[in-house]
Structure 1
Amino acid sequence: MKHIREQPGWDAVTISEAYGLSKKLRDRAFMQLLEFFSLLMPEVDVLYNTLQKRSIDAPGINSALCRFKENVQKMRQKTDALAATAHDGTDEPGRRVSSTAPVMKEACDTVISQVEQRFSQSDHLIAAKLVDSSFFPQHVLSFPTPELDCAVKLWPALGNKEKLKSELTTLYRHSELHTGNTALSLLKSIHENNLEETFAETVILVKIIVTTPMTTSESERNFSTLKRIKTFTRNTMGQPRLNALAMLSIESQLIQQLQDFIPKVIDTFCQRKDRRAAFLFK
């Protein structure tokens, strides 16, 4: 930033931005929050990548969410120490507790509450607890009627509710069928023991859960507009032209709806100055 501000050849906009960034890098609160989010965002990336796996199921989602919330909660407990030790390189570490600690705690609370709100009301995750073997000991003591009602309401293919309840009650009591931790392993166990007809409704439920995506998060397939415009071969373009091309790329749908836009651009291009090629014909 100092090099940009002091060396000749840079335009006024770049120099102004470099001055603002260098001022931020000397701000104590900014550096503390920068260090805090550098610790928080990798936890978000881990959760995101876990939820993107094809083999993810309800137990895997619950486990990933629990780990994520525990890690964020631990980070929240360390915010006071982080605010006291993080500094911008000029202040003495541990000199005083910064006012950024409440901001860090609020950020952690917001992240945790948003995650809980996002996944707590997912009906398919609630219904998936019916075939989650980790809940079977609890289901033996108290049958999960709310989860059953949610599954029947969510998937009309489960027509016989009473038969499904009877099958699940029997399934929970036979621990020899609980050979794995996933719904797919439960389906294989039922198939290997030739119990498809005995647990007909349960097989339908397990097949639905196995083939239903457990999360709605999608892979990021967007490409940067700046990377599309400013390639290696066009790295020397000025700021005004770069801004204009970025606007054209972002608002391409609107531009396509304008009548005679391309001919007008060509005419303007040809009339700006004399060119070697004859673009205009009379």
Structure 2
Amino acid sequence: METVLDNYPAFLLVFMRVSAFFVTLPIFSYRNIPNTHKIGFAFILAWIMFISLDPPEILIDGQFFMLLIKEALFGLLIGFSAYFILAAIQIAGSFIDFQMGFAIANVIDPQTGAQSPLIGQFLYTFALLFMLTTNAHYLLLDGVFYSYQFVPIDQLYLPLGEGDVIEFIVESFNSMFIIAFQMSIPVVGSLFLVDIALGIVARTVPQLNIFVVGLPLKIGVSFIMLILVMGALFMLMRELFETMTYTMRGLMQLFGRGG
């Protein structure tokens, strides 16, 4: 503890980065975790990281406040990069809900406080449980710790305007939508075939009310397809976790060039 008191400005920088990580990091940033627990966990983790990093001496001056802003911005961006990759599951659920007819019936996500599609929230809950089962949340904490190998405490700015960073972010968004499309295509494709069949029936048997028959039929087909492809969805979720860690690491490497 004496080391923290001797170099407390550096500890404040470490604490700022870890706290900013926990604002946007999946699982650790959710509303059903009390803020006091988040702050306490961030403080303990920052203290453990501080005594193992051997940071340089930092003085409180004008440059210190610039470093403080840089640490907060870096933590928010890296945590958000992991969050938007994981949001591919909810995007896949919104694709499925649109075809099922559930797009109008959104629910409030208790973890983020935002509206979420029904199937998207269903798959997202499974993804979080799968993440905890496979210990993928430890990789997020490892990313917080190993970020100091790429962006040290005394690095003054982040190269946000460079072309490599912007290109990497665009490619990450692209991979997120590709995985969301792969997760939703079995159900969406089968519902497209159901729509074609219902259209043929509506033309051949005009006495049949397609609107009454079509909605429960599409819901039933959707749940049957979800049961059949659930194993493949978990494989894609595992690939999504790997993409999430690679995205965090790649963004840290690009930000580390600014030193």
TM range (shorter): 0.3 to 0.5
TM-score, scaled to structure 1: 0.30
> Larger % of helix: which?
2
> Which one has more relative contact order, counting CA pairs under 8 Å at least 6 apart?
2
Greater C-alpha Rg: 1
TM-score, scaled to structure 2: 0.32
